[in-house]
């Protein structure tokens, strides 16, 4: 599949511009938090910028012949057809329960950045795909530096709206509406750098991870620990890998304890609030039908809460994780379909580090609705496509080899 240098540069710049819109998309809310007040979600005008930038990216992709060829592959076209039919069924199911149309449409926001998955596949299969990916990760360094500088200022000087930072100020939130989406974005950046072939990638993994930990988000901290553990695991000899696998079940509780500690999280966490919340959400199950197909597409979406407020509809709640969101909107059928899709992509991918990405994707959905949080969803979607589209047989990219402690790079041609 041919690719000229202009298209190569355009794709990486469009992806970076999309990520960059997160800096100003929630500016009114960011300034509100800096003044010591909780964010006001009513002003959403600037957020249209990211939807507009996504639209520009999709239009550009539509003019790429190899992108269209990916969409017409039988497996892709068939999967998208099944997805659309089931989403239409769930929409009718929600309307039959007298929910306004905007509610089920909000439940389909998890598919909003799906075009970037196919963009990642297209990029991986192009002759210059590795250069495109590395150029995008190079641009991403600007985003990480900016977020780091803003976060340091907040960690020293901001009011403790979301908790206290170990640096003396409040838990930083960067240019986001809170520490959790901020930490998720920086952890996703660390993941992108981990897959990059740049020579300086190790330093940027560490820097992104450090800024993510500064957020105090438990999900971000555990994600960073997963990345670090995997990169270290890759450097162990076979016997050492077996030892690491055996120690894994004991290290997981230690990671959760570290992420929940007062020093790291910036707040006192007693018990596991999400488990209690999930038990309350499960009270919405009234029948086997609700368990199989959900009790209302979109009722767990943050968008519905912003537009209508809390408890506007029977069964409405704020989803603390992707799997509860899927269960409420798409039922057990949707949850199993998602897990099956992850397993299928894991098995089909030929990328040597696919375990890192798909483990991260599964983890990100436990405590976070990962596909509804920008720009984490955009970065993970593109990275998912990149790993899934990695060529089999004679690789289009050089094979990764060891280069320093826990860092991999590609051998140049």
Between CA 218 and CA 223 the distance in angstroms is 8
Q: What is the per-residue pLDDT across 126-142, written as a single tens digit (0 to 9) for each?
A: 888 888 899 999 999 99
Between CA 63 and CA 14 the distance in angstroms is 14
pLDDT, position 402:
36
Task: Enter the tokens of residue 46.
Answer: 């600037």
Asked if 33 contacts 173 with a C-beta cutoff of 8 angstroms, the reply is: yes
Asked if 303 contacts 110 with a C-beta cutoff of 8 angstroms, the reply is: no
Asked if 116 contacts 381 with a C-beta cutoff of 8 angstroms, the reply is: yes
> How does residue 268 score in pLDDT terms, banded at 50, 70 and 90?
low
What residues pair up with 170 in beta bridges, in sequence order? 164
> How does residue 143 score in pLDDT terms, banded at 50, 70 and 90?
very high
Mean pLDDT lowest among 48-52, 92-96, 405-409? 405-409
Instruction: Tell me what percent of the residues of the chain surpass a pLDDT of 90.
Output: 23
Q: What is the per-residue pLDDT across 358-386, written as a single tens digit (0 to 9) for each?
A: 989 988 887 777 888 888 999 999 999 99
pLDDT, position 50:
87
At residue 245, does pLDDT exceed 60? yes
Residues 6+ apart with CB under 8 A from 342: 358, 361, 362
> How does residue 270 score in pLDDT terms, banded at 50, 70 and 90?
low
Between CA 312 and CA 306 the distance in angstroms is 11
pTM, rounded to two decimals: 0.86
pLDDT, position 254:
66
At residue 178, does pLDDT exceed 90? no
pLDDT, position 404:
37
> How does residue 96 score in pLDDT terms, banded at 50, 70 and 90?
confident
Q: What is the mean pLDDT of residues 35-47?
A: 58
At residue 53, does pLDDT exceed 70? yes
Task: Enter the tokens of residue 334.
Answer: 């949707």
Between CA 403 and CA 412 the distance in angstroms is 13
Q: What is the per-residue pLDDT across 69-90, written as a single tens digit (0 to 9) for each?
A: 999 988 889 889 999 999 899 8
Query: What is the crossing angle of helices 5-20 and 48-62, to 10°?
Result: 160
Report the chain's mean pLDDT, rounded to a whole number: 80
Q: What 3-state DSSP class applies to 283?
A: helix
Asked if 98 contacts 362 with a C-beta cutoff of 8 angstroms, the reply is: no
At residue 241, does pLDDT exceed 60? yes
pLDDT, position 262:
59
pLDDT, position 125:
86
> How does residue 399 score in pLDDT terms, banded at 50, 70 and 90?
very low
The secondary element (H helix, E strand) that includes residue 341 is helix 322-348
Q: What is the per-residue pLDDT across 188-230, written as a single tens digit (0 to 9) for each?
A: 999 999 998 888 888 999 999 999 988 888 788 888 888 888 8
pLDDT, position 386:
92
Angle at 364 between CA 102 and CA 92, to 5 degrees: 25
pLDDT, position 409:
42
| Sign of the Cα pseudo-torsion (404, 402, 211, 119, in order) | positive
């Amino acid at each position: 599949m041919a690719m000229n240098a202009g298209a190569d540069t355009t794709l990486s710049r469009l992806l970076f511009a999309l990520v960059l819109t997160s800096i100003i998309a929630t500016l009114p809310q960011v300034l509100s938090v800096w003044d010591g007040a909780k964010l006001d979600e009513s002003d959403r005008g600037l957020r249209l910028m990211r939807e507009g930038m996504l639209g520009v990216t999709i239009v550009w992709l539509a003019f790429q012949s190899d992108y269209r060829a990916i969409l017409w592959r039988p497996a892709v076209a068939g999967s998208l057809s099944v997805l659309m039919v089931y989403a239409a069924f769930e929409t009718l199911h929600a309307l039959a329960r007298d929910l306004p149309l905007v509610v089920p449409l909000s439940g389909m926001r998890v598919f909003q950045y799906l075009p970037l998955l196919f963009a990642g596949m297209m990029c991986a299969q192009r002759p210059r795909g590795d250069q495109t990916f590395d150029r995008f990760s190079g641009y991403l360094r600007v985003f990480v530096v900016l977020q780091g500088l803003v976060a340091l200022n907040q960690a020293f000087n901001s009011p403790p709206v979301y908790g206290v930072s170990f640096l003396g100020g409040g838990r930083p939130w960067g240019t986001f509406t809170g520490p959790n989406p901020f930490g998720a974005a920086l952890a996703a950046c660390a993941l992108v750098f981990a897959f990059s072939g740049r020579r300086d990638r190790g330093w940027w993994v560490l820097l992104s991870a450090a800024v993510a930990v500064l957020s105090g988000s438990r999900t971000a901290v555990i994600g960073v620990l997963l990345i670090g553990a995997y990169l270290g695991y890759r450097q162990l000899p076979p016997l050492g890998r077996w030892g690491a696998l055996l120690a894994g079940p004991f290290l997981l509780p230690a990671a959760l304890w570290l992420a929940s500690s007062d020093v790291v999280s910036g707040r006192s966490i007693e018990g596991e609030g999400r488990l209690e919340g999930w038990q309350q959400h499960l009270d919405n199950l009234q029948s086997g039908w609700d368990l199989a197909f959900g009790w209302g597409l979109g009722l767990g979406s943050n968008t519905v809460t912003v537009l209508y407020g809390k408890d506007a509809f029977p069964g409405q709640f704020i989803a603390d994780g992707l799997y509860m969101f899927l269960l409420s909107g798409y039922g057990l059928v949707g949850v199993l379909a998602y897990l099956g899709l992850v397993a299928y992509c894991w098995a089909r991918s030929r990328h040597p580090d696919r375990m890192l990405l798909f483990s991260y994707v599964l983890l990100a959905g436990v405590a976070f609705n990962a596909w509804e949080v920008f720009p984490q969803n955009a970065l993970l979607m593109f990275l998912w496509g990149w790993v899934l589209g990695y060529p089999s047989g004679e690789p289009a990219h050089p094979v990764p080899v060891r280069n320093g402690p826990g860092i991999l790079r590609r051998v140049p041609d």
